[in-house]
Copies of this chain bind each other. A is one copy, B any other.
Amino acid sequence: MRVSVIGGSTVSESVYEQAREVGQLLADRGHEVVCGGRGGVMEAVCRGARENDGQTIAILPGSNRQSANEYVETAIATGMGNARNALVVLNGDAAIAIDGHTGTLSEIGLALDYGRPVAGLDTHRLDGFDQFEHVENPTAAVEYVERAVENQPNAQGRPARE
Contact = CB atoms under 8 A, between A and B. Distances in A.
Interface of A: 55, 57, 59, 63-66, 70, 74, 76-87, 90-91, 101-110, 112-114, 124-129, 156, 159-161
Nearest to A128: B124
B107 A109 contact: yes
A106 B102 contact: no
A59 B80 CA distance: 14
B82 A113 contact: yes
15 contacts: A59-B76, A64-B156, A66-B161, A76-B91, A79-B82, A79-B90, A82-B114, A83-B84, A85-B86, A86-B106, A104-B109, A105-B106, A105-B109, A105-B126, A108-B109
Contact of A105 (B57, B81, B105): B105
Contacts of A156: 63-64
Nearest to A64: B156
A65 to B, nearest CB: 6
A77 B125 CA distance: 29
Contacts of A85: 86, 106, 110
A135 to B, nearest CB: 19
